[in-house]
Amino acid sequence: MQTLRTPDERFQGLAGYDFAPNYSEVPDGEGGRLRIHHVDRGDANAETVLCLHGQPTWSYLYRKMIPVLTAAGHRVIAPDFVGFGRSDKPSERSDYSYANHVAWMSAWLEQLDLRDVTLFCQDWGGLVGLRLVAQHPERFARVVTANTALPDGAGVPADAAGPMRALYESLPVVDVSELGQRFAATDGAPGFLYWRKFCAETPELKISDIMLHAGGRVLPDEVLSAYDAPFPGPEFMAGARQFPSLVPVFPDDPAIPDNQAAWEVLRRFDRPFLTAFSDGDPVTRGAHVRFQEEVPGAKSQKHVTIAGAGHFLQEDAGEDVAAAVVRFMADNPLPR
């Protein structure tokens, strides 16, 4: 597996992000090693909040939450997934699979030997993070899901795969400015298929353009530049392009059985489980209901809605999100 590594100077002087880098290595599955970066702030002996980002962001997304969580006495660890941030970036889209990402992050979790973890997961942070919970439930004391899901084909008949794939292939690649409209539309193809098509096939993928049109609020130029920082050229963007294509939206997707097995574990997960979805995310709108209904640990929780935020609620309302996590942890202390 051939990998690329973003030069360190790309991460110097980023607005609001002065966190020292930490690195560890995991097997790449082909006899080599991958370097994974993470932020580690707060008392090393305090309770750990593990913050997992999605696509196309990186740990920069958590810069507003980290100070609130550490001020409350918690340790925060925020890694960059392989292909993102300061972590290594395999050069070929074929290097990226859902199973690979779960395996890489599982090895990373075991290497750091994190225990009594409170997981905060958004977007792909949930698709990977909830699989980690299913594989290592003993390591997780609490879970907070935010604007995420764990697709397992529920409610989609198997014979829909062919028509769904044909529909996807027929879709045009729209301009980035149209993606929000496609997600908001209630007729026609689901907005996510347009998103998948855009990331896979648009001639030029620029992360700052995505963040600018993702809703929520207008971001200053220095913040937009920080989201572009991990990707100095198109050759670094295989992961950013591939991730949407890995979401198992078709009922014949190879990841469906593993996600179904993960749901079986979640249906027995009785540790505190909170949903903290925003009120302005058309991407995962309504996905919180399944977590609340099917995960035992969610039954008695004071679930929250983050007002005035879009899909990237950590960016739009990071301090409010962190405060909700602090309250949740205080309301659900670890057993003595």
Query: Which residue in 123, 152, 253, 316 is the catalytic one?
Result: 123
Query: Which residue in 38, 53, 101, 311 is the catalytic one?
Result: 311
The backbone torsions φ and ψ at residue 228, rounded to the nearest 5 degrees and listed phi first, read -80, -20
Q: Give the SS3 label for residue 68.
A: helix
pLDDT at 218: 86
pLDDT at 326: 98
The backbone torsions φ and ψ at residue 286, rounded to the nearest 5 degrees and listed phi first, read 90, -10
Do residues 231 and 207 touch, judged by C-beta distance below 8 A? yes
How far is C-alpha 213 from the chain's CA centre?
A: 18
The overall average pLDDT reported for the chain is: 96
Segment 300-334, tens digit of pLDDT? 999 999 999 999 999 999 999 999 999 999 999 99
pLDDT at 186: 78
Rounded to 5°, the CA angle 45-52-191 comes to 165
253 among known catalytic residues: no
Superfamily of domain 1-336: Alpha/Beta hydrolase fold, catalytic domain (3.40.50.1820)
pLDDT at 167: 96
Copy the structure tokens of residue 144: 């907070």
Q: 104 pLDDT exceeds 90? A: yes
Q: 178 pLDDT exceeds 70? A: yes
Mind giving me the DSSP string for 193-219?
HHHHHHHHH-S---HHHHHHTSSS-PP
Q: 279 pLDDT exceeds 70? A: yes
Mind giving me the DSSP string for 274-314?
EEEEESS-SSSTTTHHHHHHH-GGGTT---EEETT--S-HH
Distance CA 40, CA 35 (A): 16
Query: Which residue in 28, 281, 316, 320 is the catalytic one?
Result: 281
Distance CA 134, CA 138 (A): 9
311 among known catalytic residues: yes
Question: Could you give the percent of the chain with pLDDT greater than 90?
Answer: 95
Do residues 186 and 212 touch, judged by C-beta distance below 8 A? no
Nearest partner of 279 among 246, 301, 302, 310, judged by Cα: 310
**Mean pLDDT of the 157-173 span:** 96
**Mean pLDDT of the 152-159 span:** 95
pLDDT at 305: 98
Q: 129 pLDDT exceeds 70? A: yes
281 among known catalytic residues: yes
What are 120's strand-pairing partners? 51, 144
Residues 6 or more apart in contact with residue 183 via CB below 8 angstroms = 191, 192, 194, 195, 282, 283
pLDDT at 188: 82
What does pTM read for this prediction?
0.97
Calculate the CA dihedral of residues 67, 69, 70, 75 and round it to 10 degrees: -130
Segment 17-62, tens digit of pLDDT? 999 999 999 999 999 999 999 999 999 999 999 999 999 999 999 9
Instruction: Enter the DSSP assignment of 87.
Output: S
